[in-house]
Amino acid sequence: MSHDKKQAQLDEILAASGVDVRKCMRCGKCTATCPAFDEMEYHPHQFVYMVEKGQIDKLAASPSIWQCLSCFACMERCPRQVEPAKLIEAVRLSVIRAKGANHLKPEEIPALLDADLPQQAITSAFRKYSK
């Protein structure tokens, strides 16, 4: 990707998330409280400084972005109101908004169903993983 395109992608992520990455003081409280911590290659506090450094490609290619539970714990407990979950969401959107890049496809759903699975789970997953 050209430098201009990379900058445009970064600007879009920052604008869509509304996050000011410079407010982060690297205390790690977001990562300490993240219930999906064990499942992630890059953790919430790393997300913040990777975006600050413009390392979007690495983040976008990481399976970590699909592990966020959207539980709002990191947002609630951040002492500086950085709100890392909003960055994770914006990076994920920058991936799935590209044509053909949906992480969850409708044809995969039947194999994932069981008799008790609530509709809410499927709807949520589509919102988070597909456009």
Partner 1 sequence: MKFSYYPGCTLKTKAKDLDRYARAACEALGVDLAELPEWQCCGAVYTMAKDEIASKLSSVRALASARDLGTDLVTLCSACHNVIKQVNNDMRTNADIALRANNYLKLDTPYTGETNVLHFLEMLRDRVGFDALKAKVTNPLTGRKIGAYYGCLLLRPSKVMAMDDAENPTIIEDFIRAIGATPVVYGMRNECCGGYVTLENKGSAKKRSSAVLESAKSKGADTVVTACPLCLYNLKKNGGTDGVDVVYFTELLAEALGVK
Q: Which residues bind partner 1 (CB under 8 A)?
A: 15-18, 35-36, 38-39, 66-67, 69-73, 75-76, 85-86, 89-90, 93, 104, 112, 114, 116-125, 127-129
**Rounded to the nearest whole angstrom, what is the least distance from the CB of residue 28 to partner 1 in the complex?**
18
User: Closer to partner 1 at the Cβ: 8 or 117?
Assistant: 117
Exposed e or buried b for every residue in 8-34, given b needs 16+ CB within 10 A?
ebbeebbebbebebeebeeeebbbeeb
User: Closer to partner 1 at the Cβ: 25 or 117?
Assistant: 117
* Residue 41 φ/ψ, nearest 5 degrees: -80, -50
Sign of the Cα torsion 39, 33, 68, 9 reads negative
Q: What letter represents residue 94's amino acid?
A: S
User: Closer to partner 1 at the Cβ: 59 or 89?
Assistant: 89
**Rounded to the nearest whole angstrom, what is the least distance from the CB of residue 62 to partner 1 in the complex?**
14
User: Closer to partner 1 at the Cβ: 27 or 117?
Assistant: 117
Residue that the structure tokens 């982060």 belong to = 24
